[in-house]
Structure 1
Amino acid sequence: MNKSAGVAHRVAGILLGSIATLSATPVLANDGGLEEVVVTARKREENLQNVSMSISAISAAEIEKLGISDVSQVAKLDASLIYDKGYSATDNRIQIRGLSPTRGRVNVAVLVDGIDTSSESISFGGGSLLATNKLLDLQAIEIVKGPQSALYGRSAFAGAIQYVTKDPSREFEGDLRAAYGQHGRYELSSSVSGPVNDDFGLRFNGVYWNEDGYYKNQVSGKTVGNGDGWGFALTGKWAGEGVSVKGRLEYTDDKFGQAPTAQLPVNSIAARPTAGSACITIGSGVVVPGSTCPAGTARVYSPSSAFYVGAGSNHVYSSFGEVPEADALAVKLDVDPLTGKDYPGSTRQIARASIVTEWQAAGGTFASLTGYTDAKFAFLEDGDFDSGVVNGVDKALRAARFDNSNTTKQFSEELRYRSDLDGPANFMLGYLYWQEQANQITRSINVLCIPPLPANVGFGPYPLPASCGKYTANQVMGLVSPIPRLNARGIKHNSFFGMLEFQLNPQWKATLEGRYAKERETVDGVNCSPSLNAAAYPGGPVAKCQDPTIPGLAVFGPSVVYSYPFINLTNPAAAPLGALQAPGVPVSLESTHQYFAPRATLEYRANERALIYLTWAKGVKPGGISTVTAGSWQDADYDGLYDEFSFKDEKIQELELGAKLTSESGRLRFNPALFFIKYDDKQVGAQLITPSGIAVGRLLNAGKAEVKGFELDTQWAPTDHWSFGLNYSYLDTKFTDFPFSSTSATDAVRVGSCERRFDTLQNAKLCFFNLKGKELERAPKSSLVGLARWQTPIGAGQGLKFFVEGDVQVQSKRFLDYYNTVVLRGYTEGSVRIGVNAPKWDFMVYADNVGNDKTVQTGNSNPGDVAQSLLDPTNFSPANTAGVRLPDPRIVGVRFGYRF
């Protein structure tokens, strides 16, 4: 035995020996023991235990039994996969191994039958509503971890989720399935499948679902979180000699009420750090005392006044610490001023078509994968997730609404050839063309009312009346005729990919993979109209984008209504302008990116039951121009450079050591993996103070970060009656370097300091920060998923099996933001199921979240405009708060299936 083989045998022995100490913690297992799990992770069907990568698979039986219908339910079955819900229905964030898509495109590719359907939201970070499409008629779900760009395409930066749909059956069959639970949660589905002739078969599946929601809007008393929808899929497959063609049509139509989002209450009122408000001398750094900065000096922001809560105090209002449980929070959403009712929420219609063709040739197989998606989204929602209604009286001076209509069209074509040679080497070569055009017509509105102000407070030496007159901010919004505006993103992607496998000897195998890609991105947005360029004061120089209702105040974005719509401050005798939005002019920007993403694997087959592998991979998430402008103009500071929303490529390198181990009896699988991820130029959001004095979001590349982790996926069926298992993830994450600069006092409070530089006037107007040592946002240190099942035959000779099973999901605390100021608490949530399986039917009673855990599991930072307006109506620095999604309560229900 050579030295390398001896080391590998010892490693295998250690890993196999550790099985003996495994505790019987529940996780998914197949009925009656461990059946072979077949996956298509490497573009071919293989036994899961023969694939040298970290991958989880969910079978059709588990999908039906657990009622899995979208990605949020998939995430409950894998400890490394986390699904977060953000601002709106189109803000969905999927992460693997702690790599959250704070900004930029998604980190996890979503594929259906090998076709990339990943997309990106227009107005928010994260994926669009395409990421949460209802899942129809699935044969399997595969979750692949680590950078997978070489095989899974343009979006598999941190991993991929692949949905494999069912083929038509060789014999006529069908089923009827129904589920009913508390709070009006029910689903009906049916499928029919069979051959048309010897070579061609068809399969049809239809579904209808409904949820009444679990929480009420305290402003209106109406339920939120409700929804309903329907869909169907038609699949046809022709299989001739050496050739197969699978075509699939799918359509879904869904409606969603506003989500049960609660705004965190303000629990901290902090003065602005004095380091940022000091007037420092350019060149020397000498601090000059005084309320105003003389020539030759500069400050970042004005100081906070003597501490008090009220107009002009300039304090920063925050929500710090642990997020309270659901019982301590409330959903408070403004009603639509045009109808007096709750905003309707969102709608989604998605049509998809695909053709997958394979044909055998001499020495290998050719494949063509063609995909087309045509999707429409619309959402009309409260835009600040809060309300100033107190005891029936609206006291808020700010209001917002999201009013968007989106269309997304995708087309892709992948061609590839995989060899099947008798020698030690085999290869695959392929080409991918992928394009998307996502358009959004937005009619969103943002109203900021200013209270009556005495002289020398806010805007000069003269007193000012209430800017909105007798109206509340929400009422003003109802008076606006919004200006429709186009925000759009177009992507054209071309890439070549390949894989080379070489069997070095019967035990050792090396694999090289890579993808070279080139993309062109076009972004359409809106800039402030030159018609608003005017002198800030009589006789002064011309300034950009001035609010015509108040001299010296700039309009920060196209959604904003003029500050004084009902009063003409410059000429009180003249008619006011009314509730109008600022006009804009379209702007189109373009960027191109090219990159190479390689992957290398060395695997050692100790015996037929033990595979050990070492993988190195690189992932690249292309930069570009963000469409997430936080309501500002595309050129937020009017300098013509468009640098506020431009960002560079995000890159990772990952080293993984793993094993696939099976006991001699075949009743135990034990698949551990260690990994180290090096992260460069993470795409994140920060703040920029525009000339209007309003802070808006911008894009940054956040230096460097590291992730050290361990995963374990194991299943154990000690007898025909019992099955156990465990899926576990441990993450140690930190930023190793995260320098950035900002003009925001809110950022200074988040960090707790403001480092100053005085070498140039520009630098003297900035705070310099470094978040080195902070943990990555949304990444829990520990996460566990488990299941235990007991089953026994009943009714002699009838094929009946009675079962009791339960699953549990345990997750440690995690930070909501990369400042590490807001904490999502750890939680434990479990479900139980009791039922009977028969050859032709199955029935079960289930209880999800059986312990009725109230821990908030997801949320997103937001400005907290309403709360701040109640505390300090003239403070335009955004608050440091968050909106969180309230968790589903305990749901008890039944599921029934009949097969024919």
Structure 2
Amino acid sequence: MMMTKRAKYLLMSVSSCPLLSASVAGAQTASPPAVVTAPGASEAPAANAPAATTSAQSADQGGVQDIIVTAQKRQETANRVGMSITAASGDDLKLRGITSAIDLVKIVPGFNFTQSNYGAPVYSLRGVGYYDTSLGAPPAVSVYVDEVLLPFSIMSIGATLDLERVEVLKGPQGTLFGANSTGGAVNYIAAKPTSTFKAGFDATYGNFNRLNVGGFVSGPISDTLKARISFSNEHSGDWQYSYTHDAKRGKSDVFMGRVLLDWTPSDRLKVRINVNGYTDRSDNQAAQLVAVLPSAPAVVKAQPLPPGNNRAADWDDLDPYRRKADFLQASVRVDYDINDAMQLTSITAYDTFDRDSVTSADGTRVQNFAAATPGSSRDFGQELRLSGDIDRVRYVLGGSYSYDNVKDSANALADVSSLPFKKSIGTANQKVNTAAIFGNLDYRFTDTLTLQGGVRYTDLHRKFNGCLYDSGAGDLAATQSAAASRLLGRPVVFPAGSCVTLGPDFLPILDREKLNEDNVSWRAAINWQVTPRALLYANVSHGYKSGAFPVANATNYLQFAAAIQEDVIAYEAGFKLTAFNRTLQLNGAGFYYDYRNKQLRGRRIDEIFGSLNVLVNVPKSSITGGEIQATLRPAKGLTISAGATYVDSKIRGDFLNYDALSQFGNFSGEALPLTPKWQATGDGQYEFALSSEMRAFVGGSINHQGATHAGLGTNPLFAIPSYTLLDARVGIETPDDRWRLVAFVRNITDKYYWTNTFQSGPNVVIKYTGQPRTFGATLSYRY
């Protein structure tokens, strides 16, 4: 009997230790076992997995299968390890329309996405995130592809191409491998080259003239060399419309590609080469106007507010407001088995990223405020680690080095505004050197009790230089000259096109700063296998995220002040339980995060620009919460999964700053911005046979995001109401999974919602809406 791919996914939504991998016990004989590997673990399936017929029969009889976790080719059930991780297969991601990290909110309770105003995505887990708009913002939630770090969140657009699975780990990370992070990690695992010839394609057509075509070819080149080539071209037409003039925008045009080579010259040596990248030529989303502030010119005050739907927006015709982004990454991974119990791993990566983007950020028919954000990044990373077993101890020891060279700009375009100029050029260049050593140990104290510990030392050196430049028109230079003349008590004149950021002596300065930081992060855990089907676990970890400099239109050098590194001590206790004759898998956890120096977008009042975003540190804050996930198979063919997360965030002690409209206040006791208290996900699917040669399925999912606020204070203009989205799907497929046709509808009710709202420039408040109702069909074929 055959286990469906859908069943495989649902069995992969488990809690697991970051050292370990989980595979379905006894996968079908037609394909290798489905493996869920947490970062840092061996991806090889266990050599002596149980027979396929046993697990397949168990699945078809309505029971939740045992999950086998493997670390260095040893087997344990998932109930013997404890840490919150959600995993999903690449097949299920396609089925549910999850084509980017943005969509992970549909399957990962506690995961949240925020659209920033200049295109950089912001990810958070359990309320831990870092909202910044710059290209080189160090993330609180790290993203990896096959354990190779994507240094900045904006590089994650192409990470979802041709996946075997995705894993999301919650809580501070860094004691095992990769980079420090306070929120968690998302690890995408690419589908690997196969030992026999395989090929496939997926084609989707939907409303707004959406046409996505992708495919792969995989197989052996020689006895020791295998290859896999995959691609995806995503294209759609305009989905936004102007409500004041005859214009549309919102097209998408993204191409992604990957070449994987697996070379195995001997039984002990394996080399994997991964070359991947993407090009993005899409429109930037237009903002929706929320309010016009009293400082605005009359023509801006005359702008009407939009109708209440996701598609309506407005923009001017001075620029096409598109982005041109190119990303290329090459990595080499070498695994060498020193002996049967010890492995040496080297991961080397280099990537380049370039963008030229212009965003209309005012939601009006005139150019009140727009932003041009050209930039580039060149990044190198090297990691070396040793892992293995010694009797009852499993260990990982290693070190890493990375170098990032980021050039970024934030150019303000204000043809009609209260600003005394029409264009400014803000630059920020950073060079970052990071070195770390780390170690992690698992000790099997008894057959039912396992102790874990990890530590990491990180040394980081960040060099920064930034300045605000006149565009060459001389208007900003004249304004800054007048300000400096008043402050100095004598006339000074700054040339057109020059740097005009005022230094400590009130004369122009290219501000140069350094930020040298080090830290020791750590983790300790205990797992108690109460019964073969019940686990209790507890862990405590101390994580860090590096400090950062802002990209700002800084008329004064003080606006370039860095936010120092933040750190969090996270406490978590949880359980995993299989019950009711294996028809229910229930996982739950409670957590408390003690936050120090949380990095936040605050405000500073500037005499030229007025209220400006700056980086600040919140001295003390906390997050208290809990989550629960369940998978239920009450009958053959029927599977139901659900999850929910509750997060209560709070600023502790005094914190003096400005709210979203520049009103000074003490924000003690307030919730952290962009942190909803409640998030929930759910999915159900029923599969049934139409004939011996065809089966059908019908399913749906729900995603609820609680209310939150986009900034400090309680001004209703910046409120983000709660919303609930519904998706549905129906399809047919052959029993051998060769052909599949799926029809889908997403956001069935065409729910009007938004994910961010903020003051853009000095005159308007805007928001970014979510996607409207979309529908279409996907045809897939596998050979």
Deviations 1:768-821 (A, max 9, x none): x3211111111111111111111112212x2x2210011111122111223233
Q: Distance in 2 between matches of 1:260 and 1:93?
A: 18
2:759 counterpart (857, 862, 869): 862
- Structure 2 regions of 5+ residues with no counterpart? 1-5, 13-23, 26-33, 43-68, 71-77, 471-475
SS of equivalent residue, structure 1 residue 79: coil
The answer on whether the counterparts of 1:535 and 1:541 sit within 8 Å (CA) in structure 2 is no
Deviation, 1:263, is 2.2
> Are residues 1:436 and 2:404 paired?
yes
1:40/1:685 Cα in 2 relative to 1: closer, same or farther (>3 Å)? same
Counterpart for residue 160 of structure 1: 185
Q: Distance in 1 between matches of 2:383 and 2:629?
A: 32
Q: Distance in 1 between matches of 2:499 and 2:352?
A: 36
Q: Distance in 2 between matches of 1:351 and 1:310?
A: 42
SS of equivalent residue, structure 1 residue 852: coil
1:357/1:220 Cα in 2 relative to 1: closer, same or farther (>3 Å)? farther
The answer on whether the counterparts of 1:488 and 1:524 sit within 8 Å (CA) in structure 2 is yes
Deviations 1:120-168 (A, max 9, x none): xxxxxxx4x2133352111110000001121243242110000001111
2:249 counterpart (220, 224, 233): 224
Counterpart for residue 357 of structure 2: 379
The answer on whether the counterparts of 2:79 and 2:529 sit within 8 Å (CA) in structure 1 is no
Deviations 1:812-867 (A, max 9, x none): 211122323322111111111111121220111111111211122x1132245344
Counterpart for residue 775 of structure 2: 892
Mapping of residues 324-723 of structure 1, within 5 Å: 326-327=308-309, 330-336=312-318, 342-362=319-339, 363-382=341-360, 384-387=361-364, 389=365, 399-421=368-390, 423-440=391-408, 444-446=412-414, 477=422, 486-526=427-467, 541-542=488-489, 586-624=510-548, 626-629=549-552, 631-633=553-555, 635-636=556-557, 642=558, 645-663=561-579, 665-692=581-608, 694-723=610-639
The answer on whether the counterparts of 1:789 and 1:805 sit within 8 Å (CA) in structure 2 is yes
Q: Distance in 2 between matches of 1:419 and 1:816?
A: 46
Q: Distance in 1 between matches of 2:358 and 2:9?
A: 45
1:43 counterpart (37, 40, 44): 40
> Are residues 1:204 and 2:215 paired?
no
Q: Distance in 1 between matches of 2:661 and 2:219?
A: 62
Q: Distance in 2 between matches of 1:233 and 1:217?
A: 37
Deviations 1:542-599 (A, max 9, x none): 46977899xxxx99869xxxxxxxxxxxxxxxxxxxxxxx996533322111001111
Counterpart for residue 116 of structure 2: 86
Q: Distance in 2 between matches of 1:897 and 1:311?
A: 54
SS of equivalent residue, structure 2 residue 176: helix
Q: Distance in 1 between matches of 2:533 and 2:203?
A: 40
Deviations 1:383-439 (A, max 9, x none): x4232x4xxxx6xxx733322321111111110001222x22222101011111111
Deviations 1:79-107 (A, max 9, x none): 21011101022x21100001231356211
Counterpart for residue 704 of structure 2: 810
- Structure 1 regions of 5+ residues with no counterpart? 1-27, 120-126, 270-308, 318-322, 337-341, 452-466, 468-472, 559-581, 637-641, 749-766, 868-880
Q: Distance in 2 between matches of 1:693 and 1:156?
A: 33
Q: Which letter does structure 2 place at the counterpart of 1:717?
A: R
Q: Distance in 2 between matches of 1:517 and 1:189?
A: 40
2:129 counterpart (100, 103, 112): 100
The answer on whether the counterparts of 2:484 and 2:507 sit within 8 Å (CA) in structure 1 is no
> Are residues 1:853 and 2:768 paired?
no
The answer on whether the counterparts of 1:702 and 1:737 sit within 8 Å (CA) in structure 2 is no
Deviations 1:442-489 (A, max 9, x none): 6544457669xxxxxxxxxxxxxxx8xxxxx8xxx5xx7x7x764212
1:555/1:170 Cα in 2 relative to 1: closer, same or farther (>3 Å)? closer
Deviations 1:35-92 (A, max 9, x none): 5563222522536554421000011221232243211122221121011101022x21
Q: Distance in 1 between matches of 2:487 and 2:617?
A: 38
Counterpart for residue 118 of structure 1: 151
- The Cα RMSD (Å) is 3.3
The answer on whether the counterparts of 1:534 and 1:542 sit within 8 Å (CA) in structure 2 is no
Q: Which letter does structure 2 place at the counterpart of 1:776?
A: L
> Are residues 1:236 and 2:159 paired?
no
Counterpart for residue 662 of structure 2: 747
> Are residues 1:827 and 2:713 paired?
no
1:326/1:355 Cα in 2 relative to 1: closer, same or farther (>3 Å)? farther
Q: Distance in 1 between matches of 2:661 and 2:544?
A: 31
The answer on whether the counterparts of 2:327 and 2:351 sit within 8 Å (CA) in structure 1 is yes
The answer on whether the counterparts of 1:180 and 1:895 sit within 8 Å (CA) in structure 2 is yes
The structure whose RCO (Cα within 8 Å, separation 6+) is larger is 1
TM-score by length of 2: 0.83
Counterpart for residue 276 of structure 2: 250
1:61 counterpart (91, 97, 100): 91
1:859/1:557 Cα in 2 relative to 1: closer, same or farther (>3 Å)? farther
Q: Distance in 2 between matches of 1:672 and 1:38?
A: 22
SS of equivalent residue, structure 1 residue 717: strand
Which shows bigger deviation, 704-713 or 732-741?
732-741
Q: Distance in 2 between matches of 1:447 and 1:694?
A: 17
Deviation, 1:331, is 1.3
1:72/1:543 Cα in 2 relative to 1: closer, same or farther (>3 Å)? farther
Q: Distance in 2 between matches of 1:654 and 1:105?
A: 20
Deviation, 1:539, is 10
Counterpart for residue 666 of structure 2: 770
The answer on whether the counterparts of 2:595 and 2:621 sit within 8 Å (CA) in structure 1 is yes
1:738/1:330 Cα in 2 relative to 1: closer, same or farther (>3 Å)? farther
1:776/1:233 Cα in 2 relative to 1: closer, same or farther (>3 Å)? same
Q: Distance in 2 between matches of 1:359 and 1:855?
A: 51
> Are residues 1:193 and 2:115 paired?
no
Deviations 1:495-541 (A, max 9, x none): 00100111111111111111100011111211679997867799994
How many corresponding residue pairs?
Answer: 702
Q: Which letter does structure 1 place at the counterpart of 2:131?
A: T
Q: Which letter does structure 2 place at the counterpart of 1:350?
A: F
Q: Distance in 2 between matches of 1:649 and 1:32?
A: 38
The answer on whether the counterparts of 1:258 and 1:343 sit within 8 Å (CA) in structure 2 is no
1:774/1:835 Cα in 2 relative to 1: closer, same or farther (>3 Å)? same
The answer on whether the counterparts of 1:220 and 1:335 sit within 8 Å (CA) in structure 2 is no
The answer on whether the counterparts of 2:285 and 2:359 sit within 8 Å (CA) in structure 1 is no
Deviation, 1:31, is 7.4
Q: Distance in 1 between matches of 2:235 and 2:510?
A: 40
Q: Distance in 2 between matches of 1:665 and 1:386?
A: 56
The answer on whether the counterparts of 2:426 and 2:469 sit within 8 Å (CA) in structure 1 is no
Q: Distance in 2 between matches of 1:262 and 1:712?
A: 35
SS of equivalent residue, structure 1 residue 646: coil
Counterpart for residue 17 of structure 2: none
Q: Distance in 2 between matches of 1:886 and 1:221?
A: 20
Counterpart for residue 66 of structure 2: none
Deviation, 1:111, is 0.6
1:543/1:170 Cα in 2 relative to 1: closer, same or farther (>3 Å)? farther
The answer on whether the counterparts of 1:527 and 1:584 sit within 8 Å (CA) in structure 2 is no
Give the share of equivalent positions with the same residue, in percent: 19
Counterpart for residue 16 of structure 2: none
1:737/1:894 Cα in 2 relative to 1: closer, same or farther (>3 Å)? same
